Every structure is written in structure tokens, then in C-alpha cells.
Structure 1
């Protein structure tokens, strides 16, 4: 029996379109999804016919963050996420995120790691980690490299939900969804060398952060996932109740 892929690949006039298709867990960052997405990014990187990568999704959620139901231990999951973020940052091909639904926690790390991100009118965003007894440790690297740190401080600490206009204002998202076609036209008109060298300039802060702090923040994330508070927060989330500390 063949298991259906959770990341679909298409090619559209020089753009590799990678579609997250795991709606049963809201495109959460399972080891399977991360593995397939990493492999697809690697293939796109080595394909001379690919000018850029478009990351999109099925269903009402772009990515819900960590798959809280998956086993294998927190260290494995955080290490895989660091490598995925590194694959996006180090690829010479620009990566564009198209967010038409909800993005939560680790899913916002994917959005921030991409070179360009556009959001549809129904997109919503939230850093929910603190409400679960966690912290956005690993994803802080791409997020803080892209966004207004004062605004991010608020959303890291409160877990509030915000929409596309606020995401654009703070720099998490580049523009509303109607900018996608002009962006793709521009990328298709640019040379491979021009794109690679221009990306090297804009992605430099993220590449440096991943090199300098990737291992450290992966360990922080794994430690938090293993804590008693996080266990209570994740149980409460899965049981659809408030955690013990919520008032």
C-alpha cells in the first residue's frame, strides 16, 4: 500500500510549487511533512530549470506548528525544524510563502524564513507557544531577523491572534495576496545568478543566526518540550481545556 505524499510538487514556468497537503493535522510539522518538504526544497535547489519556489497549502491552515501528537521526542523535532529553516535560508532560489489560512507557532517560522510572504484576507497568525508552557525558541531566529522586535515582543508574550494587515505592518509578511503575481513575474524575469546573489544579501542575518544559535536554541526548545509545564499545556490543548495556570 502506497502512502500518499503530504507535500505535492508542480512546476509552473520556472517556479517549483510545493503544496502542503496534510489537512488532518492542519499541516503540522510532523517528521514526515518536514522530511518531504526538505527533500522537495533540495530538488528545487539543484534543478537548473527552477528559478524560485512557491510554498502554498491545501485547507484552511497554512501550518499549525509542531505536531503535538507525534512521538519521537522533542529533540528530534526541533533539530529537524532547524535544518528545514536552514534549507530555506541557504537555498540560492528565492522561496515565497502563500498564506491563505491560519499560521500558528512553528508555522510562523516557515513564513518568516521565506524570502517573500503574501497573505490572503482570511489569514491569521499567532505565536501560541507561551500559552502551552513553551517559547518560540527556534523560530525566533527567522522571526527576529525579519520583523519589528517591539511588536514581536507583544505577540511572543501574549499569544494574541492578528490578521494580514498587522502581519504586513510588523514585517512578518511582505504584502497582501494580490502582490503574488507581480512577485512571480519579477522572479521569472530575473537571472539565476542575480537572484542567488541578491538573496545572499537579504538572507545574511538569518543565515548568521542559524549558524551561531541554531544548536543552542534547538536545545532550549527540546528542554521546554520535555518540561512538566509544557506537558500540561499540550494536554490542555489536546483536551480543549484551559491549562492549570490560566485564570
Structure 2
């Protein structure tokens, strides 16, 4: 009996746990399996005394495309995403997102939950939910906690694609990819206690918002996923055609 290949690969590089999303066949979508493996990898890194910080990166041209629309349990996804975002925010070690590909929908929530995010020239970003009859409900919590609310209103509503430079401008990304080595050197130079205490200061507002708003937004997202508009929007997406409301 063959063992399925992992959806999240792990390696240790001089005190940095590198977690690589390795499900390129579905653009690293947040499937049930990937969510579980990523949560397990975060828990393992949290307990490992050799790990000073984490880097979350990706295999293939997409960092994360959001919900796995091919799964029959897609309506349970929002609640699972809330749990994952809480885990990242509560982790006593900083998490750095390294992106050099596309980020879509719920993948932007995953990105924004990380303490630091860097993006390369190949990175593109879009909140595509409105075009599917949905909304970035759960993802909005870390995105609005980190970034520019006026810019978020534009991109939530229009679903436009924007660049890494724009993501830096609006606060969704911390810095260009070429600054990653300096960031990691800084994390390696800090004490574990110092990192945990500093992260607690910066992540506290996000943790409070996830606790207060996460369950409500997960239920709202599940209702949207169960709507007729969303069913047609997801069908159109999977069939690579425009939905009937597109003008």
C-alpha cells in the first residue's frame, strides 16, 4: 500500500522551520487534508525548541487559491479556516509568509494572518469571492487588521488583480522578497522569549478580532456557500465560463 505524498513539506534551516504547501494540482487550495497537515506542522514547530521562527511558502505558481471548491464539504471550510488563522496568531513564534506566485480569495487571509509577509515580482493578488457570489468573510478579519481598509473595500468589491508593489503599499505585504534574508537574520538574532513577547504585542488585536468575529463570519460564509448564487458561481468557475451575472 502506497502512502500519499504530504501536502505540507517541512524542513529546518538554521533555526527556521520552512513549511511548503505542496499541492500544486489544485493550486494549494485549502482542502481538508492541507488544513490538517498545516495545523499539525504549526503545532510541531511550536513545540520544537530548535525552531526560532517559521517560513510558510509554496510549491508551484500559486501560494494559495483559497477554498477547495471541488470538495463536497466546502461549507465547513470557513470554520476550519478560522481555527487555522487563530493557530497562526497564537503561535509563540513568528510566521513569515514567502510568496512568489498567485494568492487568491481565502489564501489572502492565510497570508495576512502571518506576522510578516514578503512577495516577489511573480506574485499577484485578488479577492475573487464577489465574482463567485461569495465574500471574503473570514479572510477579512486578518486583512482588515493588517491593511488599508479603503483599499480593501475596492479589492473586496471588484475582485481586481493587483501586484506585489500594491500589496506592500496597502499593508498586506511587509516587504519585497529580496528583503527576506535580512528579516530571517533578525529573527535568528532575537531571543525566543523576546520574539514571543513581541509577537504577543502585535498579534493581540488580531487574536481578539478572530475570537469575537470569527465564528459569526464563518457562519455567514457558510450561508453564502450554500446559496444559489454561489452554486452557480462555483459551477461557472469550475467549467471555465462566465457566470450569468457577468456583463
- Sort the TM-score into its range (normalised by shorter chain): over 0.9
Cα distance in 2 between the residues matched to 1:111 and 1:72: 23
User: Structure 1 pair 73/66, CA: closer, same or farther in 2 (3 Å)?
Assistant: closer
Cα distance in 1 between the residues matched to 2:155 and 2:123: 16
Cα distance in 1 between the residues matched to 2:179 and 2:9: 23
Structure 1 gap segments, 5+ residues each: none
> Which residue of structure 2 lines up, in the alignment, with residue 151 of structure 1?
151
How large is the RMSD of aligned CA atoms in angstroms? 0.6
> Which residue of structure 2 lines up, in the alignment, with residue 81 of structure 1?
81
3-state SS of the aligned residue for 2:160? Answer: coil
Cα distance in 2 between the residues matched to 1:18 and 1:129: 26
* Pairwise CA distance, 1:73: 4.4
3-state SS of the aligned residue for 1:49? Answer: coil
* Pairwise CA distance, 1:72: 2.0
**Residue 198 (str. 1) matches residue 198 (str. 2):** yes
User: Structure 1 pair 73/57, CA: closer, same or farther in 2 (3 Å)?
Assistant: closer
Q: How many residues align?
A: 246
Q: TM-score, normalised by structure 2?
A: 0.99
Q: TM-score, normalised by structure 1?
A: 0.99
> Which residue of structure 2 lines up, in the alignment, with residue 54 of structure 1?
55
Cα distance in 1 between the residues matched to 2:147 and 2:229: 28
Post-superposition Cα deviations, 1:45-74, rounded to whole Å, max 9, x if no partner, equal 111111100001110000010000011240
3-state SS of the aligned residue for 2:169? Answer: helix
Structure 2 gap segments, 5+ residues each: none
**Residue 111 (str. 1) matches residue 115 (str. 2):** no
CA contact (8 A) 2:28 2:63 kept: yes
> Which residue of structure 2 lines up, in the alignment, with residue 30 of structure 1?
31
Listed as ranges, the matches of 1:179-218 within 5 Å are 179-218=179-218
Which stretches of structure 1, 4 residues or more, deviate above 6 A after TM superposition? Answer: none
3-state SS of the aligned residue for 1:203? Answer: helix
User: Structure 1 pair 104/211, CA: closer, same or farther in 2 (3 Å)?
Assistant: same
